[in-house]
Structures are given as structure tokens and as C-alpha cells.
Copies of this chain bind each other. A is one copy, B any other.
Amino acid sequence: MEILDETDLKILRILQENAKLTTKEIADQLHLTASPVYERIRRLEKKGYIKNYVAILDKKKLNRPVTAICMVSLRYHNEGFIDTFEKQIKELVEVQECYHMAGKVDFFLKIHLESLEMYHEFVRTKLSKIQNIGVLESYFVLKEIYNTTTIAF
């Protein structure tokens, strides 16, 4: 399997929306039997098209209603500094996403917290402890309009 055919793509589209469907249910949608679908999913997993399967939880129910987005610029941009920064960011459990960006801002962070007060604490006790942060700009989510793990293809 060098290239994916339309059946593979359909399977991936289905699984990224709902990973709890049985192979039989997927097979029915595709007018196939369970075994070819089963074999294809195994291949897609092995080849790395499917990275993993996860449960998506309700942030608010778990008392993490605040989402902050944080834009960080470093003071110095040597290779070593960037690597250290990345390493330290990964230690912070509050950080769900971190991207190294092109442009005037170096990093984007998405952070989930219990409250605005906890964000203050987070910045005070954790972020500000990281060396080499130049500028730190914070934004807060008023409302999640749309948030999916799905990608369109």
C-alpha cells in the first residue's frame, strides 16, 4: 500500500469522527464486509496514518473552564535557548498546545486552567520562571465557537 485509495480515506474520515464504531458498522457504510475494513484499519495504524485513539473529555465538567492563548517572544534566539524553552514548556501540564511560529512572535501556547486567578498563578510561578522570555501577551477565550480534532482531506 503505497498510496491510499478512496476506501482508506473514507475509513479515516469515519474514525476521526467516531472511533467507537465497530468494523462491521464501518463496513456497512462502505458496502463491504468486516475483514477488509479490519485489515485496512490495521494497516493504517501500522503505517502511522492513525497516530492513536483518545477520549475527548468535557473541560468545563472537569473544572478547566478557562482557555488562554499566550504569545511568547524570546529575548535571544540561539539554538540552545530555543531548545531549552521547548523542553521547559513541555513540562507544564497546563499547556495543551505549543507551536514555534514564523514572524514577530516566537511561540503560541494554548493553556487550560481552572480560573483567571490560576492563570495569574501559572504565569507567576511557572511561565515567568522560564529563562529568556522577552514578550508575553495573553488572550482569553470568551467562547469556543468551534473545536475539533478532525482534519479535512
Q: Give A contacts to B, CB under 8 Å.
A: 12, 15-20, 47-59, 61-64, 67, 69, 86, 89-90, 93-103, 105, 107-108, 112, 139-153
Contacts and interface: CB of A to CB of B under 8 A. Distances in A.
Given A57-B12, A57-B49, A69-B108, A142 B101 contact: yes
Copies in the complex: 2
User: What 6 A-B pairs come out closest when comparing CB atoms?
Assistant: A93-B152, A15-B55, A98-B145, A98-B146, A100-B143, A19-B53
Contacts of A152: 64, 93-94, 112
Given A96-B150, A99-B144, 9 more contacts: A19-B19, A50-B56, A51-B58, A53-B55, A59-B151, A63-B153, A101-B140, A102-B141, A105-B139
Given A100-B141, A100-B143, A64 B153 contact: yes
Choose among A48, A63, A89, A142 the residue with the greatest number of B CB atoms under 10 Å from its CB.
A142
9 contacts: A18-B53, A51-B56, A52-B55, A56-B149, A57-B151, A62-B151, A90-B146, A93-B152, A112-B151
